[in-house]
Amino acid sequence: MSAEAPYATLDPDRVLDAVTACGLWPDGRLLALNSYENRVWQVGLDDAAPVIAKFYRPYRWSDAAILEEHAFALELAADELPVVAPLVFGGRTLLHHDGFRYALTPRRGGRAPSLESNEQLEWLGRLIARIHGVGARQSFVHRGLIDRATLIEQPMQAVLASTLLPPALHAAYRAAAERVDSAVAARMETVGPVRQLRLHGDCHPGNVLWTDGGPHFVDLDDARMGPAVQDLWMLAHDESAMNALLDGYQQMRDFDFSELALVPALRAMRQLHYAGWIAARWHDPAFPAAFPFAAEARWWEQHITDLHELAEAL
C-alpha cells in the first residue's frame, strides 16, 4: 500500500470481499459516499438493511486511537444517545482485510438540520450536553488534543513543505500563520485553563442527520480532547443561534461561558488547518479533483489575507 496513493488498490471487489469476511452477504450494490479523508461505501446486503463500510486512511490514526473512537461511540450508544456506533464481529470493531483497516456501521439516513430553528438548535444543545456528560467520565489517551500543535504547527509545516504554495509566497504565508499562532496563544492565555472533555470534535451540520425522531450524530473520526464549545460553535451561524444551543445545553449540563471567548481562536485554527489538510493530502488523487483551486496562486494569496484578518480579529 502506497502512502502516495493509499486507496489505489481499494476497488469494489475488495470492498465486497471485506464485508463478506464479516459473515455478511453483499448483494453487489455499492454506493461511494462523500468522504475524502477516508473511503466510505454503502453496501447492499441480501435480506438485510445496507451497511456502511468505512476504510481508514493508512498512517493517520494508530489502531489504539481508532479503538478509542469506537469505544466512545459504543459508550454513547449504550447510554441510548443517537450516535452511529460500529458493529461488532467476533468481539472486534476494527477489522482488517488485504492491508486495509475498516469498520462497518448500520446505515442511518436523515436530512440536514434546520439551523434557523430555535427548537432544533435547543434540541441539538441538549443532545451535545448529554454527549459531553459521557465524554467527561474519562479521557482519551491516544487521540490527542484540540491544540495549536495539531491545528496550527502541523498544518503550517505541511503547507510549507508542499509544492502547492508558490515559492514567492513562502515568507508571506509563514508570517501570516505565525501571526495567527501568536494571536491564538494570547487568546488562550487570556481565557485560562478550561475543562478538557472527550468530544465529537467535528460537529458541523454535515455530521448531523435529522429524522422525524430527531437528530443523530455520525462520524467520530475527529474525536479528540478539547473544550465543550468546540462541539457548539460550528452549528451556530450567529449569536442568536449560539444562545439557542446554549439554552438547550444548560437544560442538561452546566456550561462555562468563558469558553465563548475561544470561538474566534477555534475558527482561526480550523481555517489554517483546512489549507494544511489539503496540502498534506495532495498526493491522494481525490484531492486535486475535489480541490482544484488549491493549485492556483491566487487562492493562497487570498488565504494569506484571510489569516491576517483572523489574527486581527483575535
Q: 304: closest CA among 278, 267, 281, 272?
A: 272
- Is 219 known to be catalytic? yes
CA-based torsion, 161, 164, 168, 174: positive or negative:
negative
Give the span between the Cα atoms of 29 and 307, in whole angstroms. Answer: 44
Instruction: Tell me: is residue 79 an annotated ligand-binding position.
Output: no
Q: Is the dihedral of CA 176, 177, 178, 180 positive or negative?
A: positive
238 marked as part of a ligand binding site: no
Distance from C-alpha of 165 to C-alpha of 295, rounded to nearest angstrom:
8
Identify the active-site residue in 202, 221, 231, 284: 202
The catalytic residue among 181, 219, 221, 284 is 219
Retrieve residue 49's grid coordinates: 438493511
Q: Which residues does the annotation mark as catalytic?
A: 202, 219
Residue positions forming the annotated binding site for Mg(2+): 207, 219
**Binding site, annotated residues:** 207, 219
